[in-house]
């Protein structure tokens, strides 16, 4: 039995770009998050449904999140002062499987989808792998966490849709993406990006999906996806699925 309800203290909450914020939550013990790619579900005052956010990094008792302010819930989160005690469900979801990576895995992040790849990159480096990370954004002003990935020991490329930074286009337009030396891929980002990767990548991989969720822990069936093995809840059996599992409609 796992207690998934935690009170976590906001240790940092700061704006990184015009849309993206970084929040560090501190627990009174280590080990709440058990795999890279898991997420947390945050209670926001005045909102009935919680807000699901991926775990970007784990350092002892500290859990780092990156989040875009897109609506009322995430705006409210951006107003939490240091010391605010957040009501958090964690750990949620299965997470990525670093053991499948092979020698030179590719990590592909679109927009805020770069967040869960960071802890994965660190764990891959610790396993002696050589992760190649490609971060895709709309424009140069949106680029986040590039330096952090580099410091974690990954080889990092950036693509922007408007060409204002790095390769012009999508993550798939970066030559390192199609390099035959790549052994496996891990991806998180908007659905069209995941779908394109699923169709075009010749190697095996894992994709992290998102959906509007009510519970986040596998009981309401609001977040289902069709798989080769029947419908599965994204929050509980995912959010990470192997490429072959998913059936795209």
**C-alpha distance from residue 11 to each of 74, 106, 140, 144 (Å):** 17, 32, 28, 20
- The alpha carbon of 244 is separated from its chain's Cα centroid by a whole number of angstroms, namely 20
C-alpha radius of gyration, the chain, whole number: 17
Q: How far is the CB of 169 from ligand FAD (least distance, A)?
A: 23
- The interface mask with ligand FES, positions 209-238, x = CB under 6 A, is ----xxxx-xxxxxx---------x-x---
Encoded tokens for 164? 């204002």
Of the candidates 8, 13, 32, 67, which one interacts with ligand FAD according to CB under 6 A? 67
| CA–CA gap between residue 83 and residue 74 (Å, rounded) | 18
What character string, x for contact with ligand FMN (CB under 6 A) and - otherwise, covers 171-210?
A: ----------------------------------------
The Cβ-side half-sphere exposure at 35, using a 13 Å CA radius, reads 13
Pick what 224 binds: another protein, ligand FMN, ligand FAD, none; C-beta below 5 to 8 Å, kind-dependent: another protein
Verify binding: residue 74, ligand FAD, rule CB under 6 A: yes
How far is 106 from 29, CA to CA, in rounded Å? Answer: 32
10: contact with another protein by CB under 8 A: no
Minimum gap (Å) between residue 239 Cβ and ligand FES: 10
Chain residues that interact with ligand FES, rule: CB under 6 A: 213-216, 218-223, 233, 235
């Amino acid at each position: 039995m796992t207690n998934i309800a935690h009170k976590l203290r906001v240790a940092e909450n700061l704006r990184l770009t015009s849309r993206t914020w970084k929040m560090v939550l501190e627990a009174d013990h280590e080990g709440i998050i058990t795999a890279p790619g898991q997420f947390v579900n945050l209670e926001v005052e005045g909102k009935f449904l919680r807000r699901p956010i991926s775990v970007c990094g784990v350092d002892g008792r500290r859990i780092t999140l990156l989040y875009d302010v897109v609506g009322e819930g995430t705006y409210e989160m951006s107003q939490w002062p240091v010391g605010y005690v957040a009501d958090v469900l964690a750990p949620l979801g299965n997470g990525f499987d670093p053991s499948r990576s092979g020698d030179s895995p590719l990590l592909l992040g679109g927009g805020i989808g770069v967040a869960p790849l960071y802890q994965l990159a660190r764990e891959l480096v610790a396993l002696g792998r050589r992760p190649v990370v490609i971060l895709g954004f709309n424009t140069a002003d949106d680029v986040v966490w590039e330096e952090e990935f580099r410091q974690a020991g990954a080889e990092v490329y950036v693509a922007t849709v408007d060409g204002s930074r790095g390769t012009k286009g999508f993550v798939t337009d970066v030559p390192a993406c199609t390099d035959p030396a790549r052994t496996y891929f891990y991806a998180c980002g908007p659905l069209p990006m995941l779908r394109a990767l699923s169709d075009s990548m010749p190697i095996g991989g894992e994709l992290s999906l998102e959906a509007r969720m009510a519970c986040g822990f596998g009981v309401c069936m609001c977040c289902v996806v069709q798989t080769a093995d029947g419908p599965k809840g994204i929050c509980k059996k995912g959010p990470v699925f192997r490429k072959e599992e998913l059936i795209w409609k």
